[in-house]
Structure 1
């Protein structure tokens, strides 16, 4: 099932529950922007609070949510078992991709991301509304395990036997620059393919880029960008790769061995 949908197709997909997860890396809530205008019928979810779990000493800055808590959020959004879901953000695909990944991990099969987000919707001349929808509670059951997840040990083993791909910028990968986490560098054995070079709409280029990477698994700073790369690969028709969901923020917090510079 293709995970991306354009604005015109999305407008016609009226049986899907629409989820607005606009978000910025700094963590500022975009709920005021949702209130000012959103896709008709769209439900607001706070990305940090509703889609991700609480931050602890380890586990990363955007850990997986507790399944029971996520189930409550999704039921409150009106999602039933078998309900299709349309997810969108402001346009960069970051929080929408991680939400897509989380819902697929949770066992929801038909989840699609609006390519270009709200910006593409408005550019297509499609309407917005300010009314907050009142949806009846859903009955969806969260069943974790729908997508493959790596922890720190799994990431280390994957780097040894397959292709662990760090999708952060080359400077962060090489350990020259680290704006968020206390330690700079990368997981030993990981290779670098910057997610900024992947246009979600250019599936041919993405397929060509990753077909030569043997059994990739992705990580980034906190598991958001890695989910976007997983979405890109899936949209290109390749198998959905594992994601080290804790990513560098978890690896660094655990005091694991680090590497700097380029891998040989």
Structure 2
């Protein structure tokens, strides 16, 4: 595979058996997990990973989808057959049916915890189906446990609530109306972190659901001030979809940090400032 963090369905089809494939299909908003969709059909050999239990800790003061405990994440990856870490291991390919949002979260976590050979399937499950590639159904048999050794902070950088506003370019990955403070369907406070700029994750994709080429992504993020000399971080509502912007920036050749707690953590402290651009004032709350 190439050095890109993305991989095509044709590439993966030719590598089945030589890569570990993870299915992380998910729907935001408290609906059923993607396990039912996985059982109905998945990439041959793929193992299902649940975002709420394996890729996030329970909601609380650190936000709606805090980073999982290292031991919990490590165990989940081993159960799914992932091996490697800083020392190497089989390449991992991650996919979903949510425009790459959950896949980006899993990609980021694996990279953050030391696995250096991780790709997101560009176009996801729909691209696999559209290509007419083989589909496996039902619950697979047991998989040999992996030997993934998570190393905290070995890969992708993070920023905390205390230093997020010191970043050169802080990117809010949510929809424009949420960024502006016109509406907030999930969290109790509307608005954004003062100084943040808005690059909704939808802008990373072409109309048919694939990531834009690296040159286009560089131009997109240059519009909000991202250069080779700026420090960059991204946040969203709960820290999940912001990984999509981090992934897009990685495609463009820019390493960006993630603010894991994101907006849902920021607003738990009423002393933190809230900005709106629609004339509506935010009111901090729990």
TM band (smaller chain): over 0.9
Q: Which residue of 2 aligns with 1:2?
A: 4
- Asked if 1:215 is matched to 2:231, the reply is yes
Does structure 2 retain, via aligned residues, the 8 Å contact 1:174–1:185? yes
Per-residue displacement from partner, 1:75-125 (whole Å, max 9, x unpaired)?
A: 111122212111000151110011101111111110101111111001101
Instruction: Mark the runs of 5 or more structure 1 residues left unpaired by the alignment.
Output: none
Q: 1:133 to 1:42 in 2, by over 3 A?
A: farther
Distance in structure 2 (CA, Å) of the matches to 1:26 and 1:153: 28
Q: Which runs of 4+ in 1 moved over 6 A?
A: none
SS in 1 for 2:163: helix
Aligned-partner Cα distance in 2 for 1:170–1:201: 19
Cα deviation for residue 134 of structure 1 reads 2.1
Match of 1:66 among 56, 65, 69: 69
Q: By how many angstroms is 1:195 displaced?
A: 2.0
Q: CA deviation at 1:34?
A: 0.5
Asked whether the equivalents of residues 232 and 255 of structure 2 are also in contact (C-alpha less than 8 Å), the reply is: no
Kindly indicate whether residue 244 of structure 2 is the aligned counterpart of residue 240 of structure 1. no
Q: Which has the higher helix share?
A: 1
Asked whether the equivalents of residues 24 and 50 of structure 2 are also in contact (C-alpha less than 8 Å), the reply is yes
2:28 aligned with 1:25: yes
Unaligned runs of 5+ in 2: 206-210, 279-286
Change (3 A) 1:133 1:12: farther
1:166 and 2:172 equivalent? yes
- What secondary structure, in the 3-state scheme, does the structure 2 residue paired with 1:152 have? coil
Structure 2 Cα separation of the partners of residues 44 and 259 of structure 1? 39
Give me the TM-score of the superposition, normalised by structure 2. 0.86
On the 8 A contact 1:5/1:113 being kept in 2, the answer is: yes
Kept after mapping to 2: 8 A contact 1:230/1:240 = yes
| Secondary structure, aligned partner of 2:94 | strand
Distance in 2, Cα, partners of 1:27 & 1:130: 25
**Contact 2:156-2:257 within 8 A present in 1 as well:** yes
| Closer, same or farther: CA 16–125 of 1 in aligned 2, 3 Å | same
Match of 1:104 among 90, 111, 117: 111
Q: State the match for 2:284 in structure 1.
A: none
Instruction: Check the 8 A contact 1:85/1:112 in 2, yes or no.
Output: yes
Q: Map 1:86-97; keep pairs closer than 5 Å.
A: 86-97=93-104
RMSD across aligned positions (CA): 1.4
Partner of 1:252: 267
TM-score, scaled to structure 1: 0.93
Deviation, structure 1 residue 133: 4.0
